[in-house]
Each structure stands twice: as structure tokens, then as C-alpha cells.
Amino acid sequence: MYAVFVSQVHKVVYPHSPHEIDELELRIGDYIYLNSDAVDNSSDGWAEGISWLTGAQGHLPVNYTERTAESDAWTLHRVVQLSKSITPSLTSNEECDLVDGRSLSTETEDHLRHRDLNQVGIHASELIEGSSFNEDSEQSVEKYLRKTLKPCLDIPTITNNHSSNQQQATPLIEITPNSMSTPNASGDIKVEPIPAAPPKADDTLSQHSAENSMSLSSKNRRVYIMRHGERVDFTFGTWIPYCFDEFNNYMRKDLNMPKTLPKRSNIPDGWLNDSPLTNIGLYQASLIGEALYDARVQIDHVYCSPAYRCVQTCTSALEGLKLTGKHKIKLEPGLFEWMAWYPDGVPDWLTKEELQAAKYNIDTEYQPFVAINNLNESIKETTEGFYTRNYDVLRKIIDSTVGNVLIVAHATTLDTCTRQLIGEAPRNTNELRQVIHKIPYCSLANVEEIDGQWKLVEPDTLPVTHSKNPRFEWNALTAT
């Protein structure tokens, strides 16, 4: 006996790491069950949903998902066995699908009721009219699970060259004819272990590694655009009153805060709109640089927003790339954020001299494409004007240089610089706000010139993700 219902099912198109205990983790390829009323009545774009993959429940940003077609939304909620027939076991080593160490085929009935039969090909009427859970339908579910989860499992397979229809299996050894022996009735063979391929840079996801190896041989010109790392003010909130004494001396109040800050003329107010990075932010940037180094990425020119957090990110990324001291950082005000967010004008950035005194390798002779005075005149720029400003700067950088370029700036930069470069129109304000929420710290976008056309391509590195770590208060242990 079966109960089959049509439900609103959404497919995850962007990953999301929970920042609160009631949030739901989103994994690309997973399906989320959402209540239509909850989605329609949401005032902030968040709704409560249930993961098809894990059965977990929590709140999620709906715009990180897209609704599936109604024909793809059939859900098997409950299976009740009416006969004493025993279905084939799915718990053998070859049959069992594992995610996070758990068998999908042997999960509890409560978890099974959240399984989506998307693309299995079983018509709803067949399920309703069926009088028993036959072997064909069970195998269809199994095949769907294996197909859906194969990118997660990453099980290597080989096919026998003598038969294209031979079933694939996990390779242990390869059996080939012994060319050194005279053929005889016994059919001499030799057993050769499959040679282990040397590990490649960032070889943690098979799909990424396969395409990454192709990118290594590419000689096309590339521009790497990177967002800055985790910033102090967004992590700790109003931090300045607690970290500066009456003499304006800086005092660290958390291990994730910088030990020291460079000297600047306007202390402490200069840090209000020009936040430093946290120590985690510095490490994030270094990880990206190390991954680019492992991928053998060549950088020929370095440009950076004048914001201190971007200068720090750029410096740490260059350290990871083992390019410390080899490239001077060109500060370009034209790469700064949307001026509509700064009605009082550009922040009080550190000067080139102050950055040099703090041991940052700044190109003091560089003449920017957009001067600070011109930027101050753009405090009422439209969204389209913002896109055009960033794009024009990138276009001038490309036209005035040869080789690969690294640009370190802001979340918006990954879209505003590349959108028109690849032939797309600028986004409107709402679309811009939606897209920047999908660009976390130290995100990296790659554009490559292919046959005279610039295209967004898969980055040479994996993304970097970390969870939010709440502050520990030791006296919580003394509570009665």
C-alpha cells in the first residue's frame, strides 16, 4: 500500500553553511521540501524546509534553491509491506550507498518518507495501482540513489575493454594477456596492479580535479578576481569602543582579532569604515594563495581596492602564492564598492606611506584609472553606473597589461567586473543584492579569454568554507 503526494520540492543550486543552530545546511544536488504557505508568506526570503538527503529540518534562504517541475516532485512518503515476501537486500558492500558514513539503503522509515523519486521514471498511477512493492520499483529507487549520489561517493570504476556491455566494478587489479608467454590452452595471464596516479593539486573532488588538470595546460589569458577575507567589524560588531583605551591605544580582546594595527593619522575613527581582517580572514586568503600555487597559476600583475581589508587579503594571498616581494600592489580606487553605500564619501583609507611603513609592498608610482576625487563625486551613482565603473576599470587593466591579472576587492567586484566583460547586461539593485549574498569571504572568480571572447570558467581552486564559532564564556561553567 502506498501514499503518493505532490509536494513543492526545490533543488539546491547554491551551498549554504549554517550560522545558527536552527539553520539547514544546503548541499548542491540535494532536494528540499518546502511548505508553499511558508514560502509565500516569508518576509525575508527564508523558510523552513526538510532535506531529502539527510532528513534534517531547518531554516534556509529560499533563493539558494530553485523549484523543480511538478513532474519531478513525486515523493514516496511511506512503504507498508502487506505480504511476507522478502525484498532483495541492499546492505552488501556493492549495493550500499553511504553519505557521511551512513547507509541510505538501510535508514529508518522516517527518513525514507523524505526520499524523492525524481527522474526514476515510475508513473504516479503505477505506484497507486500497484499492490506490492515489487523488485523493479525497488531497483529503480536504488539506481536513482546511486546516480544522484555518485558525485559525492566518487567511486572509481573501469570497464572491461573486451566487452562494452560489461558491468562496471570497483577496480582492485587488472588482468591482461601475458605477452611474454607463448599462448597455450591454459591461457597464461599476468596480474598487474593498476598504477596509482600521483595526487594532483586540490585533488579532493574528482570533477574539480579532472577539469583542474585541463586548466593547467591552458595558455589563455586569465583574470582572477577575489573577495577579501573575514573582517573584524562584521565578526565582532561594535569593536572600536572596546579595543581602544582613552589614549587611543589598541588592545586585542579576542584571539581572532589582530595583535597589532598599523599607525594611521585618524585613530580610532579611521577604522570605522576601513575594517581590518580577523586572523581567520588572513588564513583564508593564505589558503587561496596556496591553492593557486599548487595549481601552478602564474600571476603577472596585481591590483587591489584601497580598503585595508583588501590590502591585507592581497598580501596574504601573495604569500600563499610564494610571490612575496615579487609583485607590487597597485591600489585602484575604481575597484571600490558601490558609492551609494557611502553617502559621506570614500572612507579614510590608509595612505600609501602608512601602508609602506606597515611593510606592505605598495606600488607608489602607480597612477590609478579612477582618482579618489572622482570617486567622491559618484556618491549618487546608480547601480548601472557602479557596474560600468568597475567594468571600465577592468577593461583598462586588461588593455594596459599582458599576462594574468590578480584583482582583490569586494563581494560585488566578482560580478560587477565580469558581468559586462562576458557580454551580459548590468543587474538592477535587487538582483545585485541577491547575488552578493552568494559570494562569501575569499570567493574567487576566473574569467578566461577564449578565442577572443571572455568567459567565466571554473576556478583553479576549491572554495574555502568554515563554520561560525560562537564566543566561549568560561564563567558559563560556574552557572548552577
Catalytic residues: 227-228, 410
Nearest to 307 by CA among 378, 240, 232: 232
**Residue 366, burial from CB neighbour count under 10 angstroms (0-12, 13-18, 19+):** middle
Torsion 198-201-205-207 (CA) sign: negative
The DSSP string of 21-88 is TTBPPB-TT-EEEE-HHHHHT-SSSEEEEEETTT--EEEEEGGGEEEPPGGG-EEEEEE---S---PP
Distance between CA atoms of 292 and 461, rounded to whole angstroms?
6
Distance between CA atoms of 458 and 305, rounded to whole angstroms?
24
CA distances from 375 to 23, 272, 351, 370, 400 (A): 39, 19, 16, 7, 21
C-alpha cell of residue 431: 538582483
Task: Give me the residues paired with residue 189 across strands.
Answer: 177
Q: Are 297 and 321 in contact (CB under 8 A)?
A: yes
Residue 12 parent element (H or E): strand 9-12
CA distances from 191 to 172, 174, 175, 176, 188 (A): 11, 6, 5, 7, 10
Q: Are 327 and 301 in contact (CB under 8 A)?
A: yes
Cis peptide before 268 (omega within 30 of 0): yes
Distance between CA atoms of 373 and 263, rounded to whole angstroms?
24
Sequence-distant (≥ 6) Cβ neighbours of residue 253 within 8 angstroms: 236, 239, 242, 243
Task: Give me the residues paired with residue 277 across strands.
Answer: 231
Q: At 84, which amino acid appears?
A: K
Distance between CA atoms of 202 and 9, rounded to whole angstroms?
33
Ramachandran bin of 398, using left for φ above 0, alpha for ψ from -120 to 50, beta for the remaining angles: alpha
